[in-house]
Amino acid sequence: MSRRRKIYEGKAKDLYEGPEPGTLVQHFKDDATAGNAEKHAILDGKGVINNRISEHIFSHLNAIGVGTHFIKRLNMREQLIREVEIIPVEVVVRNIAAGTLAKRLGLDEGTPLPRSIVEFYYKNDALGDPMVSDEHITAFGWANPQEIDEMMALAIRVNDFLSGLFLGAGIKLVDFKIECGRLYENDMMRIILADEISPDSCRLWDMKSDEKLDKDRFRRDLGGVIDAYQEVARRLGVLQENDPVPTGGPRLVKG
């Protein structure tokens, strides 16, 4: 039996050909990068934890009628997904000032925003994912105005769902990034959620202490990255209280 064909190599995930047309296998790696890949490390078990957290979130979103690319988890590091045409725009939703917003506008990190703010960034590593407006997106043909409206609506629905989910786990959802893709079915096209949602793509702070439970621990050299990701997984009920850090390669799981 030969290994499936790799069709895309990303910083934290690879994509392989799926078992049927229109499907792909998304493989979560332990690689962590920051500062446009200038900083790189292997964090044992990160891929396994993110696969589980993203499965948890995407399957709940599917269940409440938010379209996502997620079909099912295949093993410790892989999930079966629908193939979509990725829109080259990252959508960031912010509830509390942090990161580049705090820096750009001179706000103290932790300042609650008057309302949730949606921003767009052009997906381009060589340029460091610059922030763009609707005008850039439509002028350069990355998405049309109706698609921008659909991405905004999707982002807001995901924000509402995620804010509640994390609130129930004693976690503040500060901000997060999503990616969207076009799914072609018969003669129809719709925009669905793609990529992943995990502590790699969200800022998550403990409700009481504001302790960071996300990738900022890696970006800012705070240590304890895997412990924090595991804590998120445990609070979401994805990992059991005494589970060891799940390292290693793909293994078959039941279900």
Return residues touching ligand TMP (CB under 6 A). 90, 92, 98-101, 121, 129, 175-177, 201-203
Choice between 176 and 205, CB closer to ligand TMP: 176
Supply the minimum distance, in Å, between the C-beta of residue 100 and ligand TMP.
4
Supply the minimum distance, in Å, between the C-beta of residue 255 and ligand TMP.
29
Q: Are 69 and 84 in contact (CB under 8 A)?
A: yes
Choice between 22 and 130, CB closer to ligand TMP: 130
Beta strands in 142-253 (DSSP E): 171-185, 188-194, 202-206
Choice between 74 and 92, CB closer to ligand TMP: 92
Choice between 67 and 99, CB closer to ligand TMP: 99
Supply the minimum distance, in Å, between the C-beta of residue 243 and ligand TMP.
25
Choice between 84 and 132, CB closer to ligand TMP: 132
Torsion angles phi and psi, residue 243, rounded to 5: -60, 135
Supply the minimum distance, in Å, between the C-beta of residue 43 and ligand TMP.
15
CB burial string 81-96: b at 16+ within 10 A, e below:
bbbbeebebbbbbbbb
Supply the minimum distance, in Å, between the C-beta of residue 4 and ligand TMP.
26
Q: Which two tokens stand for residue 87?
A: 């829109």
Gap between the Cα atoms of 160 and 204, Å rounded: 15
Gap between the Cα atoms of 33 and 253, Å rounded: 28
